[in-house]
């Protein structure tokens, strides 16, 4: 639900619990891992199944503003150029009014501020002019608010709370600059990207699988925290691992696992995490002094299985950042408003659909064989017959053929305008 205004208002930065400051936010992503802390990985009290769809109203509303045109395409460049012209004209006519963020407006409310809201929504094309100007928050305004929310990456609940007000009250001039910035980014990717490719748009936390110039799959994603950013990169997906092992990074061993073992000596065993020395020999947890000054110099590896940090799938592609795409046992995270929670890797909702598409040209692998392998819980490495290009991109604004203009928060502060940064 959209957050309330007034005294209850809370910034989205605070909502995410960001610890790093502005300088940290601009840092290049360090080698990333599947999850940020071991507790986040394996201590979920309400784990969903891999195929949970979470087909809420928000998903349906977003679909209404979706298009088969990939974001990175010549068509999108033309659509954004047209949007820029429209916004220039809008600004010349005075832009749009500021909507007072003093009340939680919703269906059924009658208030003079609704009249201002109507003016704002008409100016941006979300509300038909024929709906008129009145004080009534009727079904026409409700539909317009939901459309506005969907194209700004907000839950389309029709309720105006703090997040919606923040998006509404970004000026037309700033939005024009956002479109112009992203036009440059789009033009930089105007070349041939491949007959088949995968694109991750970080600010939207969304993945497109594109074939022959058309989007065939879209996936909700979880991407890097503000202080552990998912990097911009180009590579090729060459490998899918079913039932992967998960190896804990040193930082999680020191900050999370050791303290947990001091509290509960059965922690590793209960969570199928085993210890190995440099020669590959398994080491019993009870032989370790967990109160020593330094954490043990051992490999902490979690066995494949439903509770594994990467669950069913790890998708590999060569890159200098040590990032990858993967499944997660915590499917509920995909329903969150804020999906910037990883240490740089990208978690993929309904990843098995993407697996099937990626493995289409690899002999012996179809949906049935993949499901059977996952059910076996045996670690299985699959080399793709034809590697598939993958692009991690950063688009905070784009447009579609029907004139719908999409905006997202500048989560990593790359647009250069504080007003557009994640709030």
CA distance 383 to 237: 9
Residue whose C-alpha is closest to residue 33's, from 352, 284, 328: 328
Residue whose C-alpha is closest to residue 123's, from 168, 85, 189, 160: 168
Question: Beta strand pairing status for 299-302 and 325-326?
Answer: unpaired
CA distance 183 to 170: 19
Active-site residue (options: 69, 152, 321, 345)? 345
CA distance 207 to 357: 13
**For this structure, is 326 an active site residue?**
yes
**For this structure, is 69 an active site residue?**
no
Residue whose C-alpha is closest to residue 182's, from 416, 422, 419: 416
Residue count of the chain, please give it. 423
Q: What is the dihedral of CA 281, 282, 285, 288, to 10 degrees?
A: 0
What tokens does 183 get?
């036009």
CA distance 202 to 223: 6
Residues with active-site annotation: 326, 345
């Amino acid at each position: 639900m959209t957050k309330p205004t007034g005294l209850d208002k809370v910034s989205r930065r605070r909502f995410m619990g960001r610890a790093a400051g502005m300088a940290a936010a601009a840092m290049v992503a360090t080698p990333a891992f599947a999850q940020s802390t071991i507790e986040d990985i394996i201590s979920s009290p309400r784990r969903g199944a891999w195929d949970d769809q979470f087909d809420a109203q928000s998903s349906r509303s977003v679909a209404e503003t979706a298009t088969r045109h990939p974001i990175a395409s010549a068509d999108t460049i033309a659509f954004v150029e047209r949007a820029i012209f429209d916004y220039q004209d809008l600004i010349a006519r005075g832009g749009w009014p500021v909507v007072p963020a003093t009340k939680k407006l919703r269906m059924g409310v009658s208030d003079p501020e609704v009249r201002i809201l109507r003016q704002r929504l008409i100016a941006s094309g979300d509300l038909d002019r024929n709906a008129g100007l009145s004080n009534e928050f009727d079904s026409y305004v409700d539909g317009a608010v939901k459309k506005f929310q969907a194209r700004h990456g907000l839950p389309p609940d029709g309720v105006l709370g703090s997040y919606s007000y923040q998006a509404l009250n970004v000026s037309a001039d700033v939005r024009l600059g956002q479109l112009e910035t992203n036009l440059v980014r789009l033009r930089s990717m105007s070349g041939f990207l491949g007959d088949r490719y995968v694109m991750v748009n970080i600010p939207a936390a969304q993945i497109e699988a594109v074939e022959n110039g058309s989007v065939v799959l879209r996936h909700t994603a979880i991407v890097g925290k503000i202080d552990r950013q998912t990097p911009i990169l180009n590579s090729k997906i060459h490998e899918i691992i079913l039932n992967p092992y998960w190896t804990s990074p040193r930082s999680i061993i020191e900050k999370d696992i050791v303290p947990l073992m001091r509290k509960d000596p059965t922690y590793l065993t209960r969570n199928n995490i085993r210890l190995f020395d440099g020669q590959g020999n398994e080491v019993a947890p009870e032989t370790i002094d967990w109160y020593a000054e330094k954490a043990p110099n051992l490999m902490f590896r979690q066995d494949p299985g439903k509770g594994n940090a990467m669950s069913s799938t790890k998708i590999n592609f060569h890159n200098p950042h040590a990032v990858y795409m993967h499944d997660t046992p915590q499917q509920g995270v995909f329903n969150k408003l804020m999906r910037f929670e990883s240490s740089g890797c990208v978690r993929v909702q309904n990843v098995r659909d993407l697996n099937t598409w990626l493995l289409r040209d690899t002999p012996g692998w179809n949906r049935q064989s993949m499901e059977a392998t996952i059910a076996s819980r045996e670690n299985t490495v699959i080399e793709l017959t034809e590697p598939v290009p993958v692009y991690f991109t950063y688009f905070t604004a784009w447009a579609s053929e029907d004139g719908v203009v999409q905006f997202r928060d500048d989560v990593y502060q790359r647009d250069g305008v504080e007003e557009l940064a994640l709030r």
